[in-house]
Amino acid sequence: QSVLTQPSSVSGAPGQRVTIPCTGSSSNIGAGFAVNWYQQVPGTAPKLLIYGNINRPSGVPDRFSGSESGTSASLAITGLQAEDEADYYCQSYDSTLSGSVFGGGTKLTVL
């Protein structure tokens, strides 16, 4: 059971917009700790996609955006492309654990 909750799967057609929610609690997202998002293509290391709730590292397309409100966060992907098919994980810091916590991951399928 992951500390952060994500849907196990989402899907969308090419060109469409999808969102992936991430729900936490008062000891992590709700406490103001930043939410980060990673993209993981099977067989490769996770890649940082969004950090600090809304920031994109250099090289990440602006089709990817993040938001945060209360005890939840969300990753939005617009203009879906076949190459976006991957697993997506949210991550934050938890004050109870004094460490990093991840969501269970969401598999994005591009139809």
Partner 1 sequence: QVQLQESGPGLVKPSETLSLTCTVSGASISNHYWTWIRHSPGTGLEWIGYIYYRGSTNYNPSLKSRVTISVDTSKNQLSLWLSSLTAADTAVYYCATWDYGRYWYSDLWGRGTLVTVSS
Give the whole-angstrom CA distance, residue 41 versus residue 59: 17
* Binding residue for partner 1, selected from 9, 79, 97, 111, defined by CB under 8 A: 97
- Amino acid at residue number 28: N
- CA angle 103–18–31, rounded 5-degree value: 40
For partner 1, the binding residues in 21-80 under the rule CB under 8 A are: 33-34, 36, 38, 40, 44-48, 51-52, 55, 57
State the residues that interact with partner 1 by CB under 8 A: 2, 33-34, 36, 38, 40, 44-48, 51-52, 55, 57, 87, 89, 91-93, 97-105
